[in-house]
């Protein structure tokens, strides 16, 4: 049975709060991490990490199959079905989703949303097809972006390896018009560097689409959140390295947000820190 999409299980009062999302990149059976989506190193068991992030208060979990393009399909069905035994927040799954049937398989396994990148670029109508079947709140347009000039970024596929020639902001606008309910934007330039988000990239998208935007790539200091929120208005941030290597806990991140006027979905953890 497909679980409810996030928009169906979230009250209106929390829609404007920043979602703190744990990003888990998967290769085979392993949780991995790299820099610029390259040089991938094994971090550990994704099940253990996902359960920990849920217990620590992550608002959502995003799984990305980093080698799906090599096999022509997503290999996360077992990972997702096992995760739903211990994780009770919305789960998004991306990588290798090329058809309505691929999406159906993952949603039946327990995913709440599916993220599409390569297949959407090759066949934009797939966004509309998926949206018509499950509703836009279930469909995430994943974009891997590399900067090409002043306020210019190009969309890439295959884990940041293949150029598309598409302007990122224009592609985000197109995806939203076709029925995507959310944009998941990864700055390949910043990913894994711990040097901060590409704030202008995120701002370029949030200014031009009226659907939720998740920013990913570059978080390495708490101040990076205020820098991002001062420039752009994403509805979520996806964090990997800082959680995987215990640089910051979700409690610390949420507490920092509370002190700096950034609304998050659950202040319980932050209050515990401050008490």
What is residue 11's predicted lDDT score, i.e. its pLDDT? 35
What is residue 101's predicted lDDT score, i.e. its pLDDT? 95
198 is an active site residue = no
Mean pLDDT, the chain, as a whole number? 89
More confident position, 27 or 2: 27
What is residue 63's predicted lDDT score, i.e. its pLDDT? 96
Domains and CATH numbers, the chain: 6-139+222-274 (3.20.20.70)
Between CA 249 and CA 32 the distance in angstroms is 19
200 is an active site residue = no
Contact at 8 Å (CB) between 125 and 116? no
Cα distance between the two ends of the chain: 41
DSSP character string of 113-128: EEEESHHHHH-THHHH
Provide CB contacts within 8 A for 62, sequence distance 6+.
21, 22, 23, 24, 91, 92, 93, 94, 115, 184, 214, 238
Question: Which of 218, 246, 267, 60 has the alpha carbon at shortest distance from 259?
Answer: 267
Between CA 49 and CA 32 the distance in angstroms is 11
Between CA 241 and CA 192 the distance in angstroms is 7
DSSP character string of 20-48: EEEEEEEETTEEEEEETTEEEEEEE-HHH
Question: Which of 74, 87, 94 has the alpha carbon at shortest distance from 46?
Answer: 87
- The active-site residue, picked from 102, 144, 154, 198, is 144
Let me know if 48 is exposed, middle or buried by CB neighbors in 10 A (0-12, 13-18, 19+).
exposed
- pLDDT tens-digit readout, 6-48: 333 343 334 579 999 999 999 888 998 878 766 678 889 999 9
- pLDDT tens-digit readout, 175-225: 999 999 999 999 999 998 999 999 999 999 999 999 999 999 999 999 999
- pLDDT tens-digit readout, 71-97: 556 688 989 999 999 999 999 999 989
């Amino acid at each position: 049975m497909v679980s409810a999409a996030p928009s169906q299980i979230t009250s209106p009062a929390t829609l404007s709060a920043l979602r703190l999302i744990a990003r888990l990149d998967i290769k085979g059976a392993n949780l991995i991490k790299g820099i610029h989506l390259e040089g991938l190193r094994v971090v550990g068991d994704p099940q253990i990490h996902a359960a920990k992030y849920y217990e620590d208060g992550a608002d959502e979990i995003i799984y990305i199959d980093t080698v799906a393009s090599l096999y022509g399909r997503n290999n996360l069905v077992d990972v997702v079905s096992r995760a739903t035994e211990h994780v009770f927040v919305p789960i998004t799954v991306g990588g290798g989703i090329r058809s309505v049937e691929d999406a159906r398989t993952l949603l039946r396994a327990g995913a709440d949303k599916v993220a599409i990148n390569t297949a959407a670029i090759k066949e934009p109508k797939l966004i509309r097809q998926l949206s018509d079947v499950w509703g836009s709140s279930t469909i995430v347009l994943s974009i891997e972006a590399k900067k090409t000039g002043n306020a210019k970024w190009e969309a890439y596929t295959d884990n940041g390896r293949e150029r598309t020639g598409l302007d990122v902001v224009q592609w985000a606008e197109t995806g939203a018009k076709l029925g995507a309910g959310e944009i998941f934007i990864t700055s390949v330039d910043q990913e894994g560097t711990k040097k901060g988000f590409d704030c202008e990239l995120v701002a370029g998208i949030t200014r031009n689409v009226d659907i939720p935007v998740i920013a990913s790539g570059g978080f390495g200091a708490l101040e990076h959140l205020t820098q991002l929120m001062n420039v752009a208005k994403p509805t979520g941030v996806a964090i990997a390295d800082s959680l995987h290597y215990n640089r910051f806990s979700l409690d610390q991140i949420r507490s920092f947000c509370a002190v700096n006027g950034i609304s998050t979905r659950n202040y319980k953890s932050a209050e515990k820190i401050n008490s």
